[in-house]
Structure 1
Amino acid sequence: MEELKLQRIQTGIAAEYYVAGELLRLGYNVTFTFGNTKSIDLLIEKDDTIIAIQVKGIQRTKSICWNLDKTKVKPNIYYVLVNLHIDKPSEKPEFFILTSNEALNLFTSSPKLGDKRATLDYKKLKRLEVYQDKWSKLC
């Protein structure tokens, strides 16, 4: 059987919808920006507080890392990193929640990708055990 591989845009859209679904399940009101704001994918609201969310997705368990343009990281934006696990359909997607400062500190620059681009290794983030499913950061 041929291994499923999503196009980059499909990965991003799937990740955004999974995050939106999880936030709705947790009682947030969710609005998609649909690409109108490049550094914000979702606006969420709960208890009269509005929060900006940037979603980054990877496809599979063996994916290497998420990519980020560090010049677009702005204060007061939360980053939700998603592993969709399309290679393991019985597993649910994993969510890792980071503040903008945590994103700046954890994503490492790569000379191979240029000065602006940075990466964060999935296995490294998972081993830290402090970011997975930490939706309480959004309160």
Structure 2
Amino acid sequence: MTEIKKKKRVDGQMTGLAGEFFVAGELLKRNFQTSITFGNAKSIDIFAHSEESGQTYAVQVKSLRTKNYFPIRRSAIGENIVYVFVILNKPDKEVDYFIVLGSTLSSATGDLAKYLDDPKFPGINWRSLEPYRNNWQVFV
């Protein structure tokens, strides 16, 4: 009898932390002071501060290992939060970043909003985020 091996499930916490570290690294490259909250602030993953502008940003990171569907519901979106959707990809491939203002997400229509209000599994398909790819200029 042949034994079927189950594919090992990836730890979601590791995926989330990896995404947060990648985003923090990108913000540091752009001269932002960053602080990862490590779950101490329920809806904020990173605080990013610009010495140049004096502006501080609250950042929520949503991470996936492969191109898929980001679980998020419209009612949980904060207007004053910057959302960074991260697709980690395989180790030899670049990370994909999609940066969207909370105000844009909360009032979204069309493809971006297609599943945000789904009662069973609310979220956003990664393809709907394509216009926001590498949208780092949100952080001024």
TM-score (norm 1): 0.83
2:72 aligned counterpart, secondary structure: strand
Contact 1:42 / 1:53 at 8 angstroms: preserved in 2? yes
Match of 2:87 in 1: 83
Q: Residues 3, 20 of structure 1: CA spacing in aligned structure 2 closer, same or farther, 3 A cutoff?
A: farther
Among 27, 35, 39, the alignment partner of 2:39 is 35
Q: Residues 5, 24 of structure 1: CA spacing in aligned structure 2 closer, same or farther, 3 A cutoff?
A: farther
Contact 1:39 / 1:73 at 8 angstroms: preserved in 2? no
Letter in 2 for 1:95: Y
Alignment of 1:8-19 (within 5 A): 8-19=12-23
1:109 aligned counterpart, secondary structure: coil
1:82 aligned counterpart, secondary structure: strand
Alignment of 1:1-139 (within 5 A): 5-46=9-50, 47=52, 48-61=54-67, 64-85=68-89, 88-104=90-106, 105=108, 106-107=112-113, 108-113=116-121, 118-126=122-130, 130-139=131-140
- d(CA) in 2 for partners of 1:21 and 1:69? 27
Of 98-107 and 51-60, the range deviating more from structure 2:
98-107
- d(CA) in 2 for partners of 1:29 and 1:102? 25
Structure number with higher strand proportion: 1
Contact 2:86 / 2:97 at 8 angstroms: preserved in 1? yes
Q: How far 1:4 moved relative to its partner? A: 7.1
How many residues align structurally? 127
TM-score (norm 2): 0.82
Q: How far 1:43 moved relative to its partner? A: 0.3
- d(CA) in 2 for partners of 1:70 and 1:40? 16
**Higher Cα Rg, which structure:** 2
- d(CA) in 2 for partners of 1:51 and 1:8? 25
4+ residue runs over 3 A deviation: 2-5
Percent of paired sites with the same residue: 30
Which runs of 5 or more structure 1 residues have no equivalent in the other structure?
Answer: none
1:23 aligned counterpart, secondary structure: helix
Contact 1:23 / 1:30 at 8 angstroms: preserved in 2? yes
Contact 2:73 / 2:117 at 8 angstroms: preserved in 1? no
